[in-house]
Amino acid sequence: MAVSLPMVLTADGAELSPVAWWPLGDAVDQVVRDKVGGVGDAIDGSFTEVAGVRGNAVRFDGYTTEITRSADKMPALSGGFERTPR
């Protein structure tokens, strides 16, 4: 069974709010759109688009799969940050 978990990147600060959010069930043609920044990011490596519990999901291979974005399209971060599955 595959589960679609949106991946959220949060930045430290007085208000903890997402700076990027990729709902993996929305991936189309190896691209997943960051719902916060509005940027389409590539899913690279070995993965499979599969049926999820609700809608679609992406099954990562656990080794080579990554979401990539060019540096010029990255959000500005200050302080620490963490990657949190939600």
Q: What pLDDT, on a 0 to 100 scale, did the predictor assign at position 3?
A: 39
Q: Which residues contact 64 (CB under 8 A, 6 or more apart)?
A: 44, 45, 46
pTM of the model: 0.67
- Token reading at 23: 């709902």
pLDDT band, very low/low/confident/very high, at 57 (cuts 50, 70, 90): confident
Q: What pLDDT, on a 0 to 100 scale, did the predictor assign at position 5?
A: 46
- The pLDDT tens digits of the residues spanning 31-44 come to 999 998 899 999 99
Decide which of 31 and 75 is more confident. 31
Tell whether the model's pLDDT for residue 9 goes beyond 70. no
Rounded Cα distance, 34 and 73, in Å = 11
Q: Give the gyration radius of the chain's Cα atoms.
A: 13
Rounded Cα distance, 24 and 6, in Å = 6
Q: Are 67 and 22 in contact (CB under 8 A)?
A: yes
